[in-house]
Every structure is written in C-alpha cells, then in structure tokens.
Amino acid sequence: MMGIKIGDDAPDFTAKTNSGREVTLSEFKGKKNVVLVMYPGDQTSDCTTMLCAFKDEFPRFKAVDTEVFGVNPADAESHQRFVDKEGFPFELIVDEKRKIARLYDALMLLGYVVNRTVIAINKEGKVVFYERGYPSNDAIVAALEGGSEPAKAAS
C-alpha cells in the first residue's frame, strides 16, 4: 500500500462494534464526518490516555457533526470492558485480522501491531486529516471544519 493522503477517498469497510452493531463507513457519506482512532490495545496506559482525550472533548466532535470510533483488533468483549471502565461516549470497532488498519496504512512491526493513527473523514468521504501518534483535537476539529491549516495545540 502506498499510504493514505489528504484528499483521498476513505477506504470503505464494514465491521462490528463493542455493542455488536455493524458499521459500514460509506453509510455515513453525506450524513456525518467520521474520526477513526487506531490504537494498539485496550486498557493499556497510553491507549487509555489517547482515547480519554477524545472522551474529554467529545462535545467538540459532536458540535461538528462527527462520529468517533476507536479501532483495534481486540474482540467485542474486551472493547465493552474498556468502554464500561472508561465511560467512552463512542463505540470501539473490532478490526478482525487488522483489515481496517491495513486499509488505512496503520500497521507497524511486520504488519502485526497497530500504529497509533488518527484519521478524519469528511461527509464527502474524503480523508481530511491523517496523523500518527497523539495529534491535537484542535487540529482534527479544524480539518473537519475545512480549515486550510489545522491549528496546533499550544505546547
């Protein structure tokens, strides 16, 4: 895979969430923006910190008409325990066999470990934000709002 670039059509997928709901990315086209938060493991320190940043600022994402999903290969039961423990207001997608991570070029270590990656997809189904690590929610929201230069968090 050549990688994902800003402006690319977001690769479509269908997968189940922690609640057993089936989600197809293309069903959001024309309706809502989507943020995919790829992370390596449920209930690990760094991943909890990453997803809690989305939980803490969830109203900002709702205000720009955005669905947020955490994505990793853990099963629905593991995801549900994580949601219950942390009180996430969004669902976690079960990425069976790391298919979604592969589609979004979010794998490392010989394709086995999910690389922390955040992807924002607008209502037209285009990738408007793609960054590894811990990007600021300011930058993600700015990209979803159509800002030409995403804001960076103050350091």
32: helix, coil or strand? Answer: coil
In the predicted structure, residue 25 carries a pLDDT above the cut 80: yes
Q: What is the mean pLDDT of residues 36-61?
A: 95
Q: Output b/e per residue, 113-152; b: 16+ Cβ within 10 A.
A: ebbbbbbbbbbebebbbbbeeebbbbbbbbbbeeeeebee
pLDDT of residue 150: 39
Q: Which of 26, 30, 3, 31 is nearest to 15 (CA)?
A: 26
DSSP secondary structure code for residue 57 in this structure = T
47 classed as catalytic? yes
Give the active site residue among 38, 47, 92, 114.
Answer: 47
Q: Which residue reads 């059509």 in tokens?
A: 9
CATH-assigned architecture of domain 31-144: 3-Layer(aba) Sandwich (3.40)
C-alpha 13 chain-centroid distance: 13
Q: Distance (Å, rounded) from C-alpha 49 to C-alpha 82?
A: 12
Each residue's pLDDT tens digit, 106-141? 998 777 789 999 999 999 999 999 999 999 999 999
92 band by pLDDT with thresholds 50, 70 and 90: very high
Average pLDDT across the chain, whole number: 91
